[in-house]
Amino acid sequence: MKKLLLTSGTALLLLAACGQSHEHDGQHTKKESHEHKGTQAHKETHKHHEDKKHHEEKAHQKFKKKDNQEAEKSQGLKDKQAQSEQADALSQLSEDQRLALAFYAKTNKKHILTKNEVLTGFYTANAPAGKMNYIINHLILKQELNVSNAPEGMKFYSLYPGVEDGASIIGVNDSKIFIGGTQTTVVDYNDLLKNGEEVNIKDLYDKYKNHRAWPELTTKVTQAKQEPDTDSAAALPTTMAHMRSQIHQMIQDFEGHPIDNQYLWDNVSFDDPKHPDVWTMKYRNQDGELLGSYSPAKDGQIVKYDQNGNEIARKHVKVKDEVNE
């Protein structure tokens, strides 16, 4: 009987153990299944986010590409419009404006006066004894005729004063400028090219169209075409030297300090040469652009003006000697 009970108890214990084992295995299986489902859900969520991100990036790239294409198209239209406007501006330049651009040209050899020399009235030229300083008494442009083999539509002018032993020559048409010199009569363009250079007007226009001295140079060119006397184009620097010295002294007294050498100072000019007491002295930056001027007023004061001709200040200045030659 005891043996039977012992056997039955052992069997019950084994059954209980097996039940617990099965229960544990079932719980473990459920846990694994749950974890698997969680992992799978996480993977699907991650994939969904990645797909969404990829879609958004693709859409962004598509819109970005479209924006870039539209921007390029817009820029292309702007460039074409700018080129068209520039072409129109170039075609509307007067001959005198184009001739004035010649003084801006940087050539390998100095064939003509520079812009600063034309503007200030002081220049350097070759002479038998070497380089010498002169004053531009009158800027003169004399048209030359019958130049063979020249570019279509090009007109030629001899420029006085010259800077070489021979004549300074400027040629101009709608697209380019010739700058050179000759010691003989101007006959053939190919001969001129041996001592001269061609410059593209568009290049000069692009670089100097906003330079403030260009209109002033254009006015000087217009006046130069009307000057008939080539013999009076140049003068020695001693001409009016005493007057310039006195005017400089008046300006120094006006300002209370010596003439500022950071500026370019023009030669003295007169509205009416018959009245040397009515003069103008201009000063410029180193690039030749006008900064201001000084002139006497009717009441005897010296008046200082800005670059636009507006009065800045006026002052009585004592003059030791009369301003005359």
pLDDT, tens digit, for every residue of 226-255? 987 777 788 888 888 999 999 999 999 999
* 183 within some domain: yes
Share the mean pLDDT of the chain.
84
Last residue of a domain, one of 216, 235, 254: 235
Give 119: exposed, middle or buried? Use CB within 10 Å, 0-12, 13-18, 19+.
buried
Same domain, 190 and 122: yes
Cα(295)–Cα(303) distance, rounded to whole angstroms? 5
Q: Output the pLDDT for position 325.
A: 43
322 vs 16, 87, 136, 182, 185, CA distance in Å?
A: 138, 54, 25, 44, 47
Bridge partners of 178? 171, 198
Tokens matching residue 80: 């074409």
33 lies in some domain: no
Task: Give domain status of residue 25, yes or no.
Answer: no
Of the candidates 126, 87, 134, the residue with the CA atom closest to the CA atom of residue 109: 126
103 with 86, same domain: the answer is no
Residue 79 and residue 104 in one domain: no
In a domain, 204, yes or no: yes
Task: Flag whether 31 is in a domain.
Answer: no
Q: Are residues 258 and 226 in the same domain?
A: no
Nearest-angstrom CA–CA distance, 323 and 261: 23
In-domain check, residue 213 = yes
Summarize the confidence of residues 169-173 as an average pLDDT. 97
Supply the CATH number for residue 113's domain.
Answer: 3.30.1460
What does the alpha-carbon distance between residue 10 and residue 41 come to, in Å, rounded to a whole number? Answer: 46
How many structural domains comprise the chain? Answer: 3
C-alpha distances in Å from residue 65, one per residue of 52, 56, 70, 79, 120 = 20, 14, 9, 20, 56
Residues 84 and 202 occupy one common structural domain: no
Beta bridge partners of 198: 178
Instruction: Kindly state the average pLDDT of the residues 278-285.
Output: 96
Contacts of 117 (CB under 8 A, 6+ apart): 123, 124, 136
Residues 229 and 278 both lie in one domain: no
Same domain, 68 and 138: no
Residues 147, 192, single domain; the answer is yes
200 and 73: one domain?
no
Same domain, 201 and 308: no
Would 197 be classed as within a structural domain? yes
pLDDT computed for residue 31 by the predictor? 54
| 73 membership: H or E segment, kind and range | helix 2-91
Looking at residue 70, its pLDDT comes to: 79
Return the bridge partners of 247, or none: none
Among 183, 212, 235, identify where a domain stops: 235
Contacts of 294 (CB under 8 A, 6+ apart): 247, 250, 251, 254, 280, 281, 302, 303, 304, 305
Which pLDDT tens digit goes with each residue over 34-69? 555 666 766 677 777 777 878 888 888 878 887 788
Last residue of a domain, one of 235, 255, 272: 235
Beta-bridge partner residues of 284: 264, 290
Q: How far is CA 255 from CA 144, 249, 250, 260, 317, in A?
A: 47, 10, 9, 10, 10
Least confident interval from 24-33, 72-81, 196-205, 233-242: 24-33
pTM over 0.75: no
In this structure, the answer to whether residues 136 and 197 fall within a common structural domain is yes
| 8 Å CB contact between 174 and 202 | no
64: containing domain: 54-92
- 30 domain residue, yes or no: no
- Which residue has tokens 């459920």? 30
- Per residue in 95-127, pLDDT tens? 999 999 999 999 999 999 999 999 999 999 988
Do 160 and 203 belong to one domain?
Answer: yes
